[in-house]
A and B are shown apart, each in its own frame.
Chain A
Amino acid sequence: MSLLSGLGERLNHIFSKLKNKGKLTELEIKTAMREVRVALLEADVNFMVAKDFINKVTEKAIGEDILKSLTPGQQVIKIVRDELVSLMGETNAKLNVSPNPPTVILMCGLQGAGKTTMCAKLGYFLKKQGKKPLLVACDIYRPAAIEQLKIVGKSAGVDVFSEGTISPIKIAKDAIDYAKKYALDTVIIDTAGRLHIDEKLMQELEDIKKATNPTEILLTVDAMLGQDAVNVAKEFNEHLEITGVIVTKLDGDTRGGVALSVKAVTGKPIKMCGVGEKIGDLEPFYPDRMASRILGMGDVLTLIEKAQESVNQEELKKVEENLRKNTFTFDDFLIQFEQIKKMGNIADLVAMIPGLGAKVNASDIDETKLTKFKAIIQSMTKKERQNPDLIKASQKKRIAAGSGTTIQDVNQLMKQFEQTKQMVKNLSGRNMQRMFGRKINF
């Protein structure tokens, strides 16, 4: 069984062998914690952090009452998850603002963590909030880093300050003078990626800090970091006393144990997450979602929220009614398509479903097919949509020609329609409600 999908299932398996006595026993907890430990390690939580965590949670869980509504396995997951959430703490920690502008934000991190891109995203984010940010090009080492910042800054619509490859300390100082002169209220300093054990370059960062007195010192970490994340975070924190962490590349399929590791060793809040390649792909950090993700339970909450946001409840109710009356038509089918499309990129959504993310190849889900189906339905007459039985060979030919598709496509849609009809017929109205209307508890 895949570890990615399996923690919940495996815990339930363990507990199915044990009699439910209403309280969790020490043996049960210890057996369960072994599985939790594997899940944490597979998620790249540092092994010492995982060990401490397990000890703490075990102590907490022994003797705890099992809630009536939960199985013992679910109860353990709940305890583990709650503890993870409280450890990663502080939902949506805000960026601090200096009482004496400009507010200086110093970005730091390893090579390739995504600092330059993140600078532009932050600039864009702050600009949207009505701030006047300035990006500062202090990476004088990596070839074309300055040019990269200029380009991403332009696409963010944010000014970029650069002075070529002179001392980054001087560049940073000059940038602050420039910001003061032009009444820019936030200065975001992009620095070169560096190894945490590179004493010379770490000293350079300390010097920049001294020269600019930043309000925020943000360590940018790649979500895919492994066990070494604790060393990185520890060193950067010891040298600079960071004020927060930004996790990048969370749109990948990594479980992101780094979030817990970094929080555990630095105690500093995670303030933002990078979740895509576009300039607006920046999100606040949600500890509850991260906890589910680390445990391999997918980003269920995000999925539910997205579904709730985009689904038009009234339209859905109508579809549901028709279903109950067994008068499901192509019009209803069309509404379903639109709902699915509205929920965003299907591949993205699938990746968020626990267990499915790893199994379903995103390219299997063909969005162009949806568009095609939509065109076919729209080429039907009103009557045909209401009464699919009217669609015979000659109608199919016309519909195919009208929608720019083939008769095979039309047949495929007809088949899918029948299947859907059959499938949703088996779902009661209540089930539909559960699918879209309410939060799912694991």
Chain B
Amino acid sequence: MGFFSRLFEGNKKTKKSFAEKLKYVFTGNDIDADFYEELEFSLLSSDIGTNATSLIIDKLKDKIKEEKIKSTDKAKDALKEIMVSILENAEATKVKTPAVIMVVGVNGVGKTTAIGKISNKLTKEGKKVIIAAADTFRAAASSQLEVWAERAKVKIIKSSEGADPASVVFDAISSAKAKNADYLIIDTAGRLHNKANLMEELKKISRVVEREYPEAEYHKTIVCDATTGQNALSQVKFFNEAVELTDIIITKLDGTAKGGFLLSVASDFNLPIRLVGVGETLEDLIEFNAKEFVDSII
């Protein structure tokens, strides 16, 4: 099954409700104030956010004027093009090895699960992966990661609960170097981005990677939950300020949530979307493709 046919499948419900909404928007034949107002509502209700929504609508207005678009059907195509063009910049480039991927995010977005799936995928591609259990805060976090490590058959470096996460990362880097690993994936504790002390801890972990493993391509990847609303932007902003994010992973897109904040992330932060989580199985973490993503929701 192709990557995005999976997304289509997972998103059937998403697609339906969004399509229904848009049908309502696009059945009127006049491109008038009502049309734009309804369009605005539709975009906002997909968690696209006020900034990206007005950006999209302004662009659509320009385009309708420029290309003398008269019908709402044509306007729909134009809308798709605009959304794709915003997201196209967000397609991720290939990772060069050796690489370190530090996975960060707020609590409960699915960081550990995503790491399990990534490790599995990379191992299947014949890559050598080591994971570092640097979430030493949450109860049983390293045990959870261990189960994933077993499933993916990768080595895990861990320490006791309450240990200094930076020291776990230090050990993991030594191991990655000694074993010539292609990927070192670091699981960090979920933290709310407005907690200064926890963000400082993250900076410290990040400094260890920069200092100890400069030869590796360093990815600082935020995981966001597709069911999140506008707070996703705040998350990206604060984590970006702390560790200069390099890419983003979206999880839980298999529900009815649209993950519309992705457009805001793309337009406001210029952050490549590395992977998209569309289901519960090991294979359900897929690469992002702008056109197919837009097609799956409109």
Q: A residues touching B (Cβ–Cβ < 8 Å)?
A: 3, 38, 41-44, 46-48, 51, 110-114, 142-145, 147-148, 150-152, 155, 195-197, 222, 224-229, 231-232, 249, 251-255, 257-258, 277, 347, 351, 357, 361-363
Contact = CB atoms under 8 A, between A and B. Distances in A.
Q: List the 6 closest A-B pairs by CB distance, nearest first.
A: A226-B229, A112-B108, A44-B229, A143-B147, A151-B139, A148-B140
A38 B252 contact: no
Contacts of B139: 147-148, 151-152, 155
A143 B256 contact: no
B230 A42 contact: yes
B143 interface: yes
Given A41-B50, A197-B256, A252-B106, A225 B193 contact: no
Interface of B: 13, 41, 44-47, 49-50, 106-110, 137-141, 143-144, 146-148, 161, 192-196, 199-200, 225, 227-232, 234, 252, 254-258, 260-261
Nearest to B144: A144
Contact of A42 (B50, B147, B193, B195): B50
B107 A249 contact: yes
A50 B231 CA distance: 18
Given A143-B144, A249-B106, A351-B194, A47 B256 contact: no
Contacts of B195: 251, 347, 362
Contacts of B255: 110, 195-197, 228, 232
Contacts of B148: 143
Contacts of A257: 229
A144 B147 contact: yes
B107 A114 contact: yes
A144 B143 contact: yes
Given A112-B108, A143-B147, A225-B227, A253 B193 contact: yes
B196 A347 contact: yes
B108 A225 contact: no
Contacts, number: 150
Contacts of A361: 196
Given A38-B50, A46-B45, A225-B228, A231 B256 contact: yes
Contacts of B192: 249, 251-253
Nearest to A362: B196
B110 A224 contact: no
Contact of B46 (A44, A148, A227, A229): A227
A110 B44 contact: no
Of B46, B252, B257, most buried by chain A (CB within 10 Å of CB) is B257
25 contacts: A42-B50, A42-B230, A46-B45, A47-B45, A51-B41, A112-B252, A113-B108, A142-B144, A143-B146, A148-B139, A151-B161, A195-B254, A222-B227, A224-B231, A224-B232, A225-B228, A227-B44, A228-B255, A249-B108, A254-B234, A255-B230, A255-B231, A258-B229, A347-B196, A362-B196
A225 B255 CA distance: 13
A48 B41 CA distance: 9
Contact of B45 (A113, A143, A227): A227
A112 B225 contact: yes
A347 B144 CA distance: 32
Contacts of B194: 251-253, 351, 357, 362
A254 B227 CA distance: 14
Nearest to B143: A144
A363 B196 contact: yes
Contacts of A197: 13, 255-256
A224 B229 CA distance: 6
Given A48-B45, A144-B146, A227-B47, 11 more contacts: A42-B50, A113-B108, A114-B108, A197-B256, A224-B228, A224-B231, A226-B229, A228-B258, A252-B192, A254-B234, A351-B194
Contacts of B140: 144-145, 147-148, 150-151
Contacts of A113: 108
A261 to B, nearest CB: 10
A351 B194 CA distance: 8
Nearest to B14: A228
Contacts of B107: 112, 114, 249
Contacts of B260: 226-227
A361 B148 CA distance: 36
Contact of B108 (A152, A222, A226, A362): A222
Contacts of A38: 50
B50 A143 contact: no
Contacts of A148: 138-141, 143-144
B256 to A, nearest CB: 5
Contacts of B258: 227-228
B147 to A, nearest CB: 3
Nearest to B45: A47
A346 to B, nearest CB: 10
Contacts of B147: 143-144
Contacts of A196: 255-256
Given A42-B50, A143-B148, A228 B143 contact: no
B43 to A, nearest CB: 10
B96 to A, nearest CB: 31
A436 to B, nearest CB: 25
Nearest to B43: A47
Contacts of B200: 363
Given A144-B143, A147-B140, A112 B110 contact: yes
A356 to B, nearest CB: 12
Nearest to B199: A363
A277 B261 CA distance: 26
Contact of B106 (A195, A224, A231, A363): A224
A51 B40 CA distance: 13
A351 B195 CA distance: 10
Contacts of B228: 222, 224-226
A345 B148 CA distance: 37
Contacts of A225: 227-229
B229 A227 contact: yes
Contacts of A111: 108, 110, 252
A228 B234 contact: no
B50 to A, nearest CB: 6
B109 A226 contact: no
B154 to A, nearest CB: 14
Contacts of B257: 226-228
Nearest to A274: B107
Contact of B227 (A42, A110, A142, A249): A110
A251 B45 CA distance: 25
B47 A228 contact: yes
Nearest to A154: B139
A165 B146 CA distance: 17
A252 to B, nearest CB: 4
Contacts of A232: 227, 255-256
